[in-house]
């Protein structure tokens, strides 16, 4: 199991079983791939087992595991691309369930559920380190107490129900393998896809202060669509986006684009 590296922790995302492929995965803290790390690193155990919610109820984070044999194109890019693909596949499923069944709190409808905790295990496996835009440092894990994000409803993932769109996630994982494992980097559409997913991740975050303050998110969604359809040279615009959307079929006729005057 030593070919797997612990990359980081998703403090708002409990998972009952691993999600991913042979190269990258989100797994529960009980996953056998971290047994050796648990046995040699008390800091790791304190870190992954030290999470509670704001009312001191035990919380189980998801662990980001990455195969050490992958050579990343750029530092962290492959992990974030995987995280974004899973997040958008889950958000798509969540809003589909909300529209169909109306129970929003049972699903992962915002990208905040997939945020990576700013601390992780240091290379010496004895300390916790952080490297963010505002700080860089290390701390002893002995007194570590992690907390889930209080603005998010608790994610209670039911064992009999997949929390993400399986078909969409499988398709995105195939493209992920092409780019980050086989390193076929010359295809512009794949490059645009993962840049677009990164923007869509930001667009899917829960608005601050007021739940109806979605204006900034909508602007980011515009950017995500324009990045996705960008031809590689020149510029993307509204017409190019609509030409893609109008070709899609919807189960509800009211969602279809019949004619828009540009």
Question: Averaged in consecutive runs of 10 residues, what is the pLDDT profile of the chain (262 residues)?
Answer: 89 95 96 96 97 93 94 84 97 84 71 96 95 92 94 69 90 95 87 96 86 82 94 87 82 63 50
Q: How many CB atoms lie within 10 A of CB 73?
A: 12
Characterize 111-133 residue by residue with b for buried, 16 or more Cβ atoms within 10 angstroms of its Cβ, and e for exposed. bbbbbbbbbbbbeeeeebeeeee
Token code pair at residue 177: 């393998």
CA dihedral over 93, 86, 60, 3, signed as positive or negative: positive
Backbone angles phi, psi at 25, to 5 degrees: -160, 150
pTM of the complete model beyond 0.85: yes
| DSSP code of residue 104 | G
Per DSSP bridges, beta strands 119-121 and 4-10 are unpaired
The pLDDT, as a whole number, for residue 51 is 97
Residue carrying structure tokens 């290390």: 138
Q: Residue 106's pLDDT is what?
A: 57
Beta bridge partners of 19: 26
Which tokens belong to 209?
């202060």
Nearest to 180 by CA among 91, 92, 86, 66: 66
Cα separations (Å) of 106 from 103, 116, 154, 157, 243?
6, 21, 9, 8, 34
């Amino acid at each position: 199991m030593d070919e797997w590296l612990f990359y980081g922790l998703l403090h708002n995302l409990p998972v009952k079983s691993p999600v991913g492929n042979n190269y990258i995965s989100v797994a529960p803290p009980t996953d056998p791939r971290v047994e050796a790390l648990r046995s040699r690193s008390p800091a790791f155990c304190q870190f992954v087992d030290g999470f509670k919610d704001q009312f001191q109820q035990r919380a189980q984070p998801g662990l980001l595991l990455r195969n050490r044999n992958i050579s990343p194109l750029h530092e962290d890019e492959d992990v974030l691309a995987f995280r974004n693909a899973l997040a958008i596949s889950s958000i798509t499923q969540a809003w589909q369930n909300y529209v169909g069944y109306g129970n929003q709190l049972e699903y992962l409808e915002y990208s905040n559920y997939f945020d990576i905790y700013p601390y992780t295990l240091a290379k010496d496996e004895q300390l916790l380190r952080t490297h963010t835009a505002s700080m860089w440092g290390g701390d002893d894990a002995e007194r570590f107490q992690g907390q889930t994000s209080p603005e998010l409803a608790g994610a209670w993932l039911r064992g009999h129900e997949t929390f993400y769109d399986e078909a969409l996630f499988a398709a995105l994982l195939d493209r992920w393998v092409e780019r980050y494992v086989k390193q076929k980097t010359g295809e512009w559409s794949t490059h645009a896809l993962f840049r677009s997913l990164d923007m869509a991740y930001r667009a899917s975050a829960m608005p601050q202060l007021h739940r109806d303050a979605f204006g900034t998110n909508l602007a980011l969604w515009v950017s995500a669509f324009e990045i996705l359809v960008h031809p590689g040279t020149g510029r993307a615009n509204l017409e190019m986006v609509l030409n893609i959307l109008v070709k899609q079929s919807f189960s509800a006729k009211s969602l279809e684009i019949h004619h828009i005057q540009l």
